[in-house]
Structure 1
Amino acid sequence: MTTAQALGSLLKSARDIMRKDKGLNGDLDRLPLLTWIMFLKFLDDLERQREDEVTLAGRKFRAAIEPPYRWRDWAANTQGITGDELLAFINQDETNLPSGKRGPGLFAYLRALSSSNGDNRRDVVATVFKGVDNRVKSGYLLRDVVNKIAGIHFTSSEELHTLGALYESMLREMRDAAGDSGEFYTPRAVVRFMVDDPRLGETVLDPASGTGGFLVEAYNHLSKQVRTVADRKTLQSETITGCEPKSLPYLLCQMNLVLHGLDAPQIDPGNALRFKLSEIGEKDRVDVIVTNPPFGGEEEKGIQGNFPDDRQTAETALLFLQLIMRKLRRQPTSAKRPARAAVVVPNGTLFGDGICARIKEELLKDFNLHTIVRLPNGVFAPYTGIPTNILFFDRSGPTKHVCYYEHPLPDGRKNYTKTQPMQFDEFKPCMEWWSKREESDQAWKVPAKELLAAGCNLDRKNPRGKVDFEHLPPEQLADDILKKELRIAELMKEIRQALGTHR
């Protein structure tokens, strides 16, 4: 077994080697390369283990990857193919194989795999590699990286645990290098706070998985409840599901879950919004949804057509909110609890009118929107300064009142930054408040009837709070100005109607 220090050193050495290659441009290129190499090594280690188990049981073993494309065939020998020969074997549609015969290159073979032999892992492998490119220019450097990864033992639970933590730190570094692509990563403190509820036997979904942070946290949370072989089977095959259409985060999500112990992640590589909302029935529903769906984007007309005529919008966040509401199971879960969701939304969702208001009306009338946690400035900085909130709702019945909790910045802080992010311990006061829900300087309550009468405007300010305009981010100031302008326009319309001067 490799120690945590040795694993850290091994990954650092591999990354140092990749920095020498002229085809790789920063962590956005280096981490995916490291990921697909690790993925193939993990798969081969797992295949060896399963082959032994199946053979001992007297059954025939079905390999997900066959010779000469297994890790052991082309990568395990440190003196094996290298240089241009290695690049040709990986990249070309047809090439000379290590066996001496001609055949498809490694990526061409992997992309063509299908589950026709009854092994669903083949579909996962094919989907992963359809979105992977090998940008390495030097086959010699690539061989050096492969030799480093050969030192990892993916069958060791201790090593997997350590690798999972190391991989998360690399994902954070990738987020820092991603700029506008930073939506791949939600701060760990926020994820942990939102995923504090699943029970073993309940199904968990993240319809916008990104790199899998919410699903990893859910898996870790549920793994502590495993007591029997049957429990483990339930967790491994019947619990964790996700959806991620972008090829890079899909690959990273798969590896993230694998390294944390989920043998065969069930991540849908398509757009979660591609299904007609009215056709999602009880069999398609789940018990728990935790997610930070993309916002600020625009969906195409074909996707919008999957939603009711009076709820069609290009705003991605509103489409995802409708999907989440539809995907929650109507009946109590196996743990005798209502199906429930925790969802990050931008401020605009709270005060939006028109289609947005109609969606929120359904949320208040058909679901119990029991809590809105208003996050402080800069939680997602520097990737976005848009103020955000977490909606917590369930299927226990209509909303009677909404409890608001305004999460304060730590004393002496005016914002969060990349180097000083939010810490999980900061949620402790909110978690202590959760069960009693007493009103305070941070917490207040608004009846649902009042919210419905106000056009479903959920953007309620803290009645005891003070607004520090000097330190508000520009996005929040713009939000406030927009809301005031909208309210002025509404008042002017009412005045014109009262005077009988319609336009």
Structure 2
Amino acid sequence: MITGQLRSKIDKLWEEFWTGGITNPLTVIEQISFLMFARLLDMRESTEEKKWSRKHKNKPFPGVYFSPDQQHLRWSQLRQEADGEKILKIVRDEVFPHFRHLGQQADQAGATVPQNTFNQYMKDATLMINKPTLLVSAITMIDALPLNQGDTKGDLYEYLLSKLTTAGINGQFRTPRHIIRTMVDLVLEGNHEEAISWTVGDPACGTGGFLVEFMQALREHFTSPQGIHVDEETGEKTYTGDLIEPAQWKHIKSEMYHGFDFDVTMLRIAAMNLMLHEIDTPDINYQDTLSTNFTDRKETQQWAEDAFDLILANPPFKGSLDEEDVHKTLTGKVKTKKTELLFLVLMLRMLKLGGRCAVIVPDGVTFGSSKAHKMLRQMLVEENQLEAIIKLPSGVFKPYAGVSTAILLFTKGGQTDNVFFFDVQADGRTLDDKRDKIGAADDWQDLDVLRKIWPKWNGGAGKKHFQDRTAQAFCVPKKELKENAYDLSINRYKEIVHEEEEYDPPKVILTRLKKLEAEIASDLEELEAMLG
């Protein structure tokens, strides 16, 4: 958890950019990401250098990310330079162009870093800092951050991302971390042993929050205190304890996660976010997953269909797309231009048979009356196993948006018998733009209730516990859903108990009013007497 002192350092760094003329939150985070990346790269180079020296004591280190004539580009050299103009020139004209060739250079040096990680992250990267004094201050402040501590650097970046307060033009906005964690816990319940071999994807990954939180949940579950090891030289933490095999950790940290986004800024931030959370080689792709290009492009064909064991997502809700650009396998299932519907069809296509999905959708998906809405809901209920509808209050995405949403949980294929409904009315935060915490920091109110009772549901086996429709959680049989045109809105099925109010007879109320008036008149006479 980020400490008050570290929080102050981040706030000060943020203010430094603000007063330096860079006020767009996304730009600030992107620029900080570039500089953090430069420092992390130097730390990795130092680790490779120490490994080399142990194996080749008398041979000079050839360099992995920096050749011998590029040593002046390393963070450890830049932080010692006092001339701001010189630092600005080196970073702008040499460091950034060098980043774009890192994948190829690391590959030639034999480092286990896939080319696309660096190439995609730094593609078209531009230094937006034009003031030498701002760059020097930023380097000094970032150098003081504990980036060598795996657990802290992840929290640090989450705090940076929390400063994003506006939605993108396509309706992208950051999903609150406790909502993501709730979704992760639901899909992992009873499945941890299987999950370590899953392939996990997010077709609209944004800052990578879902993939990061899934990694965190696995780490917490499988790592014992004895399994946490700290490298004496770098301070880097590794989690290869007695609860999981090193080979399995390798899959989790380098092969499990795959994200896609068509916003280049989000792409870079997501890659950095995952790298800072111990995901060594994040596969983050610059790709519009709804487009024809996603399915037909050689590099992404393998992910377009029957690829994932799990998909976690909060795709953009806003706007419509050019129908000609959307792949026919999507519009062939549901004739629509609405992104929220197309993404659901896409996720069904991307999942393996038996694969699961937890996704946030606008409320309209659950009750919309258009032909496309009805067809999609029918597809979820009749051709797949729709397991849960979790209604969220309309304020959970403020200050980005006030839209009312729900979480859908379903499995590709299978059979729907009963659907679990849960009404979240409070999530431990205020529902205004401030979203301040209510009570203890770890109190998630109704989300805690949901996570506690979810094991009782157990995929529908515990339906006997959820027959009371006046309760917060209840289930509805498939037959009833079908009779209601597959309407999935919780208000359609929730029963409201109205308590009849009892009032006194009018004469009793009148007598009481006369008595009150007499008491008031008496008090006024007493006050008048006191005033003489």
TM-score by length of 1: 0.78
Task: Give secondary structure in 2 for the equivalent of 1:232.
Answer: helix
Q: Where does residue 128 of structure 1 map in the other structure?
A: 121
- The one-letter amino acid of 1:176's match is T
Aligned equivalents of 1:448 and 1:342: distance in 2?
Answer: 20
Q: Alpha-carbon deviation of 1:377? A: 2.6
Determine whether 1:220 maps to 2:237. Answer: no
Task: Give secondary structure in 2 for the equivalent of 1:45.
Answer: helix
Q: Where does residue 73 of structure 1 map in the other structure?
A: 74
Match for 1:238 among 231, 236, 255?
A: 255
Taking the TM superposition and a 5 Å limit, the aligned residue runs for 1:39-438 are: 39-53=37-51, 56=54, 63-66=64-67, 73=74, 76-80=77-81, 82-92=83-93, 105-115=94-104, 117=107, 120-152=113-145, 154=147, 156=148, 159-173=149-163, 175-176=164-165, 183-196=172-185, 197=188, 199-224=195-220, 225=222, 227-274=244-291, 275-276=294-295, 284-306=306-328, 307-330=330-353, 338-352=354-368, 353-395=370-412, 397-409=414-426, 415-420=431-436, 424-434=444-454, 435=456, 436=462, 437-438=465-466
Taking the TM superposition and a 5 Å limit, the aligned residue runs for 1:478-497 are: none
Aligned equivalents of 1:277 and 1:317: distance in 2?
Answer: 22
Aligned equivalents of 1:106 and 1:46: distance in 2?
Answer: 16
Distance 1:310 1:396, change over 3 A: closer
Aligned equivalents of 2:74 and 2:302: distance in 1?
Answer: 45
| Aligned residues of 2:309 and 2:356 also touching (Cα < 8 A) | yes
Determine whether 1:447 maps to 2:484. Answer: no
Q: Alpha-carbon deviation of 1:79? A: 3.9
Q: Alpha-carbon deviation of 1:365? A: 1.8
- The one-letter amino acid of 1:163's match is K
Cα-to-partner distance string for 1:437-468 (whole Å, 9 max, x where unaligned): 4234212322223323433322241432379x
Root-mean-square deviation (Å)? 3.3
Q: Where does residue 20 of structure 1 map in the other structure?
A: 19
Q: Where does residue 494 of structure 2 map in the other structure?
A: 463
Aligned equivalents of 2:81 and 2:206: distance in 1?
Answer: 35
**What is the number of equivalent residue pairs in this alignment?**
440
Distance 1:71 1:235, change over 3 A: farther
Q: Where does residue 472 of structure 1 map in the other structure?
A: none
Moved more, 114-123 or 311-320: 114-123
Aligned equivalents of 1:314 and 1:282: distance in 2?
Answer: 19
Aligned equivalents of 1:140 and 1:67: distance in 2?
Answer: 29
- The one-letter amino acid of 1:28's match is L
* Percent of paired sites with the same residue: 28
Q: Alpha-carbon deviation of 1:18? A: 2.5
Task: For structure 1, list consecutive stretches of 5 or more residues without a partner in the other structure.
Answer: 93-104, 331-337, 468-503
Task: Give secondary structure in 2 for the equivalent of 1:243.
Answer: strand
Task: Give secondary structure in 1 for the equivalent of 2:157.
Answer: helix
Whichever of the two has the greater Rg, that structure is 2
Task: For structure 2, list consecutive stretches of 5 or more residues without a partner in the other structure.
Answer: 224-243, 457-461, 499-532
Task: Give secondary structure in 2 for the equivalent of 1:364.
Answer: helix
Aligned equivalents of 2:448 and 2:264: distance in 1?
Answer: 36
Aligned equivalents of 2:16 and 2:303: distance in 1?
Answer: 51
- The one-letter amino acid of 1:370's match is E
- The one-letter amino acid of 2:494's match is P
Q: Alpha-carbon deviation of 1:86? A: 3.0
Aligned equivalents of 2:50 and 2:481: distance in 1?
Answer: 61
Distance 1:284 1:66, change over 3 A: farther
Task: Give secondary structure in 2 for the equivalent of 1:383.
Answer: coil
Aligned equivalents of 1:264 and 1:186: distance in 2?
Answer: 23
TM-score by length of 2: 0.74
Aligned equivalents of 1:282 and 1:107: distance in 2?
Answer: 32
Aligned equivalents of 2:102 and 2:435: distance in 1?
Answer: 42
Moved more, 8-17 or 311-320: 8-17
Q: Alpha-carbon deviation of 1:284? A: 4.8
| Aligned residues of 1:54 and 1:61 also touching (Cα < 8 A) | no
- The one-letter amino acid of 1:391's match is L
Task: Give secondary structure in 2 for the equivalent of 1:424.
Answer: coil
Aligned equivalents of 2:167 and 2:381: distance in 1?
Answer: 37
Aligned equivalents of 2:483 and 2:68: distance in 1?
Answer: 67
Cα-to-partner distance string for 1:312-359 (whole Å, 9 max, x where unaligned): 4221111110111112211xxxxxxx4211110111111233122222
Aligned equivalents of 1:421 and 1:466: distance in 2?
Answer: 30
- The one-letter amino acid of 2:182's match is F
Q: Alpha-carbon deviation of 1:190? A: 0.8
Q: Alpha-carbon deviation of 1:260? A: 1.7
Q: Alpha-carbon deviation of 1:36? A: 0.8
| Aligned residues of 1:28 and 1:178 also touching (Cα < 8 A) | no
| Aligned residues of 1:39 and 1:255 also touching (Cα < 8 A) | yes
Q: Alpha-carbon deviation of 1:299? A: 2.2
Cα-to-partner distance string for 1:364-404 (whole Å, 9 max, x where unaligned): 12211011011123111232222111011114612112121
Aligned equivalents of 1:200 and 1:410: distance in 2?
Answer: 29
Distance 1:316 1:308, change over 3 A: closer
Q: Alpha-carbon deviation of 1:113? A: 4.8
Q: Alpha-carbon deviation of 1:149? A: 2.1
Aligned equivalents of 2:256 and 2:408: distance in 1?
Answer: 23
